[in-house]
């Protein structure tokens, strides 16, 4: 008689994109994964309604920097995920936007796989796309752009491996100008002034720019100007993180707007 033994279940972590903020932008796959998790590790920018889909018995661990951890906590987060997965928990890592666009999702995936842990990824809507939606523009409108570049404005060596050369903003700007590419800059609030100066080496000062804060949320605000005034725009409108900066002719027509509310949401007082 042949006996079949049940294979031991492979430890697994699911990196789930929680989207840019609006909890209705979750995918059905994300909702299913959240509901079946026994342990959830939740990032800062994830809306509280997102983890309402979790089982009441699930353990929810907040691991975002704004939750008190410092940036050095990344190693701790990776260790914790691996530990829980290897202990047989169904681990879901909830990350803002898409889990593999910035935010170190790629590193987490590598680290877990290196330990024999299976990693599944569920895409989310990345902040740049939500920002374009809120502005009412197409990032790749064919009359103005052949494509789009998503770039980090966080050029600090602390946030990039030493093997990575610094970003050549002048070259990025020249390329965007010559090849007609829209720029979408993430994590650029702190460095906006320096970025502006560097981008002006390759893009005309009159290039339209928009900053979208809290894309997809009722608290969304956006402001438009031309590139030479980007630094002043941040100062004047007190735009703060989380925000993305969109640069390019796909914004033509929006320049005359100063600060505007979301087309799809009432702004909260």
Q: Which residues are catalytic?
A: 43, 65, 187
At its nearest, how many Å lie between ligand SAH and the CB of residue 124?
7
Q: Residue 238, Cα to own-chain centre: how many angstroms?
A: 21
CA angle (14, 20, 170) in 5-degree steps? 105
Q: CA-CA distance, 102 to 106, in Å (whole number)?
A: 8
Between residues 202 and 242, which has the closer beta carbon with respect to ligand SAH? 242
Between residues 89 and 92, which has the closer beta carbon with respect to ligand SAH? 92
Residues β-bridged to residue 13: 91, 119
Residues β-bridged to residue 181: 147
Q: Which of 26, 40, 45, 203 binds ligand SAH (CB under 6 A)?
A: 45
Q: Which of 26, 50, 181, 244 binds ligand SAH (CB under 6 A)?
A: 244
The reply on whether position 262 binds ligand SAH by CB under 6 A is no
The reply on whether position 126 binds ligand SAH by CB under 6 A is yes
φ, ψ (nearest 5 deg) of residue 151:
-135, 150
Residues 135-164: x where in contact with ligand SAH by CB under 6 A, - otherwise, as a string:
------------------------------
Handedness of CA 208, 212, 215, 217 (dihedral sign): negative
Q: CA-CA distance, 65 to 174, in Å (whole number)?
A: 35
The reply on whether position 246 binds ligand SAH by CB under 6 A is no
Between residues 212 and 224, which has the closer beta carbon with respect to ligand SAH? 212
The reply on whether position 63 binds ligand SAH by CB under 6 A is no
At its nearest, how many Å lie between ligand SAH and the CB of residue 94?
11
Q: Are strands 221-226 and 208-213 parallel, antiparallel or unpaired?
A: antiparallel
Q: CA-CA distance, 176 to 183, in Å (whole number)?
A: 7
The reply on whether position 214 binds ligand SAH by CB under 6 A is yes
Residue 54's contacts (CB-CB under 8 Å, 6 or more residues apart) are 34, 35, 37, 40, 60
At its nearest, how many Å lie between ligand SAH and the CB of residue 84?
22
Ranges within 187-206 binding ligand SAH (CB under 6 A): 187
At its nearest, how many Å lie between ligand SAH and the CB of residue 69?
15
At its nearest, how many Å lie between ligand SAH and the CB of residue 73?
15
Q: Is 215 exposed, middle or buried (CB count within 10 Å of its CB: 0-12, 13-18, 19+)?
A: buried
The reply on whether position 216 binds ligand SAH by CB under 6 A is yes
Q: Which stretch binds ligand SAH (CB under 6 A): 112-120, 125-133, 190-198, 199-207?
A: 125-133
Residues β-bridged to residue 40: 60, 92
248 within 8 A of 178, measured Cβ to Cβ: no
Q: What are the tokens at 196?
A: 């502006």
Q: Which residues lie near ligand SAH (CB under 6 A)?
A: 20-21, 45, 95-98, 101-103, 126-127, 131, 186-187, 212, 214-216, 241-244
């Amino acid at each position: 008689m042949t006996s079949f033994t049940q294979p031991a279940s492979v430890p697994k972590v699911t990196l789930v994109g929680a989207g840019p903020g609006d909890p209705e932008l979750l995918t059905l796959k994300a909702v299913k994964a959240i509901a079946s998790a026994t342990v959830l590790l939740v990032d800062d920018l994830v809306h509280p309604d997102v983890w309402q889909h979790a089982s009441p018995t699930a353990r929810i661990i907040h691991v975002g920097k704004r939750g008190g951890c410092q940036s050095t906590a990344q190693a701790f987060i990776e260790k914790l995920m691996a530990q829980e997965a290897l202990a047989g928990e169904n681990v879901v890592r909830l990350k803002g936007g898409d889990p593999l666009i910035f935010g170190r999702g790629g590193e987490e995936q590598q680290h877990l796989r290196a330990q024999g842990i299976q990693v599944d990824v569920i895409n989310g809507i990345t902040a740049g796309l939500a920002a374009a939606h809120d502005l009412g523009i197409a990032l790749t409108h064919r009359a103005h752009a052949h494509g789009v570049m998503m770039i980090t404005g966080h050029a600090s060596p602390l946030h990039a491996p030493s093997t990575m050369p610094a970003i050549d903003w002048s070259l990025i700007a020249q390329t965007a100008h010559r090849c007609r590419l829209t720029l979408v800059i993430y994590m650029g609030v702190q460095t906006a002034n320096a970025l502006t100066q560097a981008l002006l080496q390759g893009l005309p000062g009159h290039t339209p720019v928009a900053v979208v804060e809290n894309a997809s949320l009722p608290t969304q605000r956006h402001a438009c100007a031309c590139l030479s005034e980007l630094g002043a725009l941040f100062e004047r409108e007190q735009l703060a993180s989380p925000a993305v900066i969109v640069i390019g002719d796909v914004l033509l027509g929006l320049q005359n707007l100063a600060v505007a509310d979301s087309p799809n949401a009432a702004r909260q007082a």
